[in-house]
Structure 1
Amino acid sequence: MQLTRRIEHVITMQLIRRLAWVTAGFTYLLVSLGVTVRASNAGPSCPDWPLCYGRLFSGHAYGALLEEAHNYLAGIVGILVIVLALCVLIRARQQRHLLIPALLAPALLIVQIIFGGLTVLWKSYSPVIIGHLSLAEAFFALTLTTAIMTTIPAASREPREDTFRFARLTMITSLLIYGLLLSGSYVFNSGASLACPGWPLCGAAPQWAVSLHLSDINLLHRYVAIFVGLILVATLIVAWRRRIFAPRQAWLVLAAALFFVAQAGLGAFVALPNQPVFVAILHLALATAVWGCLISAAALAARQLRAAPVSEPALALETTSGGRMLHNEIAVEKEISPWRRTLASYINLTKPHVTVLLLGTTVAAMAIAYKGLPPLGLVLATLVGGFMAAGSANCINCYIDRDIDQLMGRTQRRALPAGKVEPQQALIFGLVLAVGSFIVLSTFVNLLSAVLSFAAILFYIFVYTLGLKRRSVQNIVIGGAAGAVPVLVGWAAVTNSLSLPAIWLFAIIFYWTPPHFWALSLLIQKDYEKANVPMMPVVMGEGETRKQIFLYSLLLLGVTLVLFAMHTMGYFYLIGAVVLGGILLYMSIRLLRDQSKKWARTIFWYSNCYLAAIFAMMVIDRVIH
């Protein structure tokens, strides 16, 4: 009887898997056809909705046929999604990793269809078109995730922590691609495509085509594309290094990188005044392929994590002993030159994964203050100075905490505990970076930004690291102010002053910090106990920590809405802030009710994405208005 049930289950899962992949394929066709409708301006060919001229088949011109084909394909996808959701609900409801995306997809499809109708009824209103595309891409990601979750993951010897880090990196890269997709849609729908006839630089914009505002929008999209491309290259390097453990994930990221290069090349032709329609269509279709490949790689990594759960003690053992042995074996197989090893060790001291997020908020604050893209030279100088300042603070922090870093599994592989850099050399490197950041910012930006950066370094070292970290349960709350200063630096770099909106940007990061780091502290509570660091779970218990995460998430939502109340941000930002904050609040409620570590890990991951997304929405809102 058991054998019969297993066979039935295997057959059922095979059918669900095939249905899921068919649904994902049709969804990609639907998104591509929707792009074709928009690029060819076929939407207005059918003045009513969901029918066309009140008929199922209008028999009108080419544009109407395209719009009708898009509507009927949406109907087919809708049927497939509903059938898939019912199959999963009936036959695989116990598999929550599969059930959740399968049930979310029909709900999102309904909202997307409503937006599709509004694009017709409201005569291709630009914000509605962008919203329609954003929902379509999110829907495509859900169908892909559902299909991936039906697969059987291959066994892997990779340390669980490394798999988790790759999943997080790939998801962050995916979200950046998602933002790039939406910014490209805004460039096309606002008429900014022709604002810069040159490529990759803007060139002399023709007076008949555009305004300076539109050329700023176009240039901003190009610079964002360069930044996202560099992040994608870093993701590819990480994926390729771990291809021995996860070859499918490595090949997916490689495919994403190749698609990205191809669509970036097509971007040069989109800037031409008389480019063929298919160029814009292929440009966005390839961007969607990049998005799909990265989502698939992230979902595969998540599936790999789901397939081999381990306990917290086992995780610590694996990431310290077993993980180090595996890395040593790889190092033996692949020799690394001494200068590269030394360079990597010094870069490790600057905590680049933290620094990148800080620099992102700095650039966002500059764009918000400038209401567009600031001069490139100013941006580069601020980024160089900001990187040196953040790197200095992190480096000196590593020097001071090298004793407790040796005790914690999460930090044992850092350069100082691992013996890759001498402590005195690390301290000198940190001091040189601090002085260099002040010189760069004061010389090429302004004195106010230099003073703010230097003050942040001093605060992080003396107030947080030396004063609070080992003495107070409020270490993260007060110490988080140092991580919020980069937005003030970005604002000051553009305006050479500080105003109330800049203070509220500071407040958003300040109140974001506790939920983010307390979620992490729930995951590595035993590490903090070993190192005698008075993080909240160690001193006040997990229950109080979960409660505080909820309260700070609620407070953060309120703080983000103040920018709209001050008329600094518009309705686009308001919707984004409510949705993003609502998701964080929902997760914090689930964390209160569920005593496992699952929701703590989810909040820690999502909070990174939250900060990047809400600042991206601020930039878009300011550019739009």
Structure 2
Amino acid sequence: MATASAPFPRPIGTRQRFSALLAATALGVYLLLIIGATTSITNAASACSTWPTCHAPVDPLSQTELAIAWGHRIAAVLVGALVAVTAVTALLGDVSSRVRWTILVGAVLYVVQVGVGAVTAISGPAAIAPGLHLGLGLVIFAAIVLALAWDLELATGTANDSMDAPEPLEADATGAEAGSARSLPSGGLARARLTAFAYFKMMKPRLMWLLCLVAAAGMALAAGPALDRYTIVATLGGGVLAIGASGTFNHVLERDVDRKMSRTADRPLATDLVPVRNALAFGGLLTVVSLGMFLTINRLAAALGLAAIIFYSVVYTLMLKPNTVQNTVIGGAAGALPALIGWAAVTNEIGLPGLALAGVIFLWTPAHFYNLALAYQDDYARGGFPMMPVVRGETETRKHIIYYIAATLVGTVALAWITDLGALYAATVAIFGGIFLWAAIVLHFEQTETAAFRAFHASNAFLGAVLVVILVEALVFTGSIV
């Protein structure tokens, strides 16, 4: 990754301090959104019908709700102070005009939001417009994050850092080109072990744990304590096989391109370790068995499973990935489908919570994968894939990572608002969301492969933690698997 010189006049220390202030403000507003959603879910606002302070409730059972309401108001004061400091710093400091005005708009809207919150507390949520208070919070958060992304772009980016075509892969020390046919061991057991591992590798097992977590979270949201073991086994079993089928077809279709890229040159079909006809038969077998397992649950789950295989294998691999810079964005639908499969496996329909969870995965995918695209941009350019860093440059890619992190965080708020996820979920997404956002901010200043991989792993940790806490809240706090 190239280290870009910054065209912005502020010294690096000043840039970092202002970016840190903006990041802290964005995280503060996000935390306030999560607390506000929790307050709405638990109906804690009804325990405090006065403003700005809360009177002690008569019913002792409402003490917990009162504590949540007080926490919301104290957080609003602290975050309001942070927004005010950021606005004053932007007004008096050396920042760009669009960053300054965006922050000021957010600050003005924050004052309006306080007024809406006061009326809502005194007169009830329907006094003005249902959801207006939360909606304003989302707009404020979006404004602060936009200002952050633009400030980081100006502070650390260059006007055009898209890359030229890289050199092709060189031959290794033996003179063999990368991706050339691999010689098989002479022993029968060693050959069988190598072949078995090749088929396992074609299934892309590293994708399975996260996508299975997505499906499991969808099931947990749909069923809660009524989730039964057979549904879990059949859905996750069918999902693992569907992922394996998709990965196998992807290996077949990209075998020629894989030979050009260092990270994929040793794949089984790129090295002719597995014949194409055998791989196609293996992928077809996985597809049939996967659909058979889904059909033991219901037809909708099977249809969604087939759609996931077709979308990843054909739409993403053949149509999107080699032809459009938006391949990762649109391709996020492949990772989002397991959420709908999990929900449909329980309910035999597509419901709003399942769609909300799928939306979180869809928005998370670019914020996650763009880090990998930055780390492997030479490889993707060598393979001819129009990934964001290759076509539009590193600066634009880093900015879009911030955009999609913000969109993902908004999606987690929406998920909390339409489900009964509570305080543990709120704390988890706030902590791991902050780590994810901070890793992306550090990436702007370090601009190294190490920083890109750090942000990539932070994205995995964020989504993994969110999915696990959904399982815990739905199955442990609410009930248990039957």
**Considering the TM-score relative to the shorter chain, is it more than 0.5?**
yes
After superposition, the C-alpha distances for 1:128-169 in whole angstroms (9 at most, x for unaligned) are xxxxxxxxxxxxxxxxxxxxxxxxxxxxxxxxxxxxxxxxxx
Among 316, 324, 327, the residue aligned to 1:472: 324
Distance 1:410 1:318 in 2: 15
Alignment of 1:239-250 (within 5 A): none
Residue matched to 1:418: 271
Residue deviations 1:403-434 (CA, integer Å, cap 9, x gap)? 11111111111111122101121112112211
**Contact preservation (8 Å) 2:360, 2:411:** yes
Q: Is the CA contact 1:319–1:409 (under 8 Å) kept in the aligned structure 2?
A: no
Counterpart of 2:247 in structure 1 is 394
Partner of 1:256: none
- 1:448 and 2:300 correspond: yes
Measure, in 1, the Cα distance between the counterparts of 2:450 and 2:458. Answer: 12
Letter in 1 for 2:411: V
**Residue 228 (structure 2) pairs with residue 368 (structure 1):** no
User: What TM-score comes out, normalization by structure 2 length?
Assistant: 0.60
Q: Which residue of 2 aligns with 1:347?
A: 200
- The question of 1:541 aligning with 2:381 is answered no
Residue deviations 1:300-331 (CA, integer Å, cap 9, x gap):
xxxxxxxxxxxxx9xx9899999x99xxxxx9
Aligned counterparts of 2:304 and 2:202: Cα–Cα separation in 1: 22
- Residue 258 of structure 2 is matched in structure 1 by 405
Partner residue, 2:411: 559
| Residues 335 and 361 in structure 2, CA contact (< 8 A), matched pair in contact too | yes
- Structure 1 residues without counterparts, runs of 5 or longer: 1-312, 326-330
**Matches of 2:338 and 2:270 in 1, distance apart?**
28
Amino acid at match of 2:269: L
Structure 2 CA distance for partners of 1:360 and 1:317, relative to 1, 3 Å: farther
Q: Distance in 2 between matches of 1:578 and 1:321?
A: 52
| Contact 2:251–2:269, Cα closer than 8 Å, also in 1 | yes
Residue in 1 that maps onto 2:289: 436
Is residue 269–residue 276 contact of structure 2 (8 Å, CA) maintained in 1? yes
Once the two structures are TM-superposed, the CA of residue 358 in structure 1 deviates from its matched residue by 1.1
Match of 2:426 among 574, 590, 598: 574
Which aligned pairs between 1:124-523 and structure 2 lie closer than 5 A?
Answer: 336-372=189-225, 374-442=227-295, 444-523=296-375
- Structure 1 CA distance, aligned partners of 2:334 and 2:388? 19
Match of 2:465 in 1: 613
How many pairs align? 309
After superposition, where does 1:10-159 map in structure 2 within 5 Å?
none
Q: Look up the equivalent residue of 2:287 and give its one-letter code.
A: A
1:82 is matched with which residue? none
Report the alpha carbon displacement of residue 565 of structure 1 after superposing the two structures with TM. Answer: 2.0
TM-score, scaled relative to structure 1? 0.46
Residue 289 of structure 1: aligned partner: none
Distance 1:425 1:333, change over 3 A: closer
Shift of 1:368: 2.5
Offset at residue 338 of structure 1 (A): 2.6
Q: Does 1:589 align with 2:438?
A: no
Q: Distance in 2 between matches of 1:389 and 1:321?
A: 38
Query: What amino acid is the match of 2:256?
Result: D
Question: Once the 2 structures are TM-superposed, how far is the Cα of residue 360 of structure 1 from its aligned partner?
Answer: 2.2
For residue 267 of structure 1, what is the aligned residue in structure 2? none
Q: Output the CA distance in 2 between the equivalents of 1:393 and 1:318.
A: 31
Q: What CA deviation, in whole Å up to 9, does each residue of 1:212-249 have, x standing for no partner?
A: xxxxxxxxxxxxxxxxxxxxxxxxxxxxxxxxxxxxxx
Name the SS for the 2:232 alignment partner.
Answer: helix
Q: Is the 8 A contact 1:590 1:599 kept in 2?
A: yes
Deviations 1:47-104 (A, max 9, x none): xxxxxxxxxxxxxxxxxxxxxxxxxxxxxxxxxxxxxxxxxxxxxxxxxxxxxxxxxx
Contact 1:501 1:563 in 2 (8 A): yes
Contact 2:429 2:462 in 1 (8 A): no
Q: Secondary structure at the residue paired with 1:372?
A: helix
8 Å Cα contact 1:556-1:581 kept in structure 2: no
Identity between Structure 1 and Structure 2 (%): 39
Deviation string for 1:251-271 (max 9, x for gaps)? xxxxxxxxxxxxxxxxxxxxx
Aligned-residue offset at 1:462 = 2.3
1:379 to partner: Cα distance:
1.4
For residues 360 and 413 of structure 1, the distance between their equivalents in structure 2, rounded to whole angstroms, comes to 28
Distance 1:567 1:496 in 2: 19
The residue identity in structure 1 corresponding to 2:337 is: V
Deviation at 1:336, TM superposition (A): 4.9
The verdict on how the C-alpha distance between 1:543 and 1:492 changes in structure 2, with shifts beyond 3 A counting, is same
CA distance, structure 2, for counterparts of residue 392 and residue 317 of structure 1: 32
Residues 531 and 538 (structure 1 numbering): CA distance in 2 closer, same or farther, change over 3 Å? same
Gaps of at least 5 residues in structure 2 are 1-165, 179-183
1:497 deviates by: 1.6
More helix by share: 1
Q: CA deviation at 1:353?
A: 0.7
Secondary structure of the residue that 2:225 maps to in structure 1? coil
- Give the Cα–Cα distance (whole angstroms) in 2 for the partners of residues 533 and 413 of structure 1: 18
- Residue by residue over 1:425-467, the C-alpha shift from the partner in whole angstroms, topping out at 9 and shown as x without a partner, is 111211221122112211x211110000101111112221111
Whether the 8 Å contact between 1:399 and 1:423 is mirrored in structure 2 is yes
**What amino acid sits opposite 2:232 in the alignment?**
V
Greater relative contact order structure (CA < 8 Å, 6+ sep): 2
Residue 594 of structure 1: CA displacement? 2.3
- 1:485 deviation in Å? 0.5
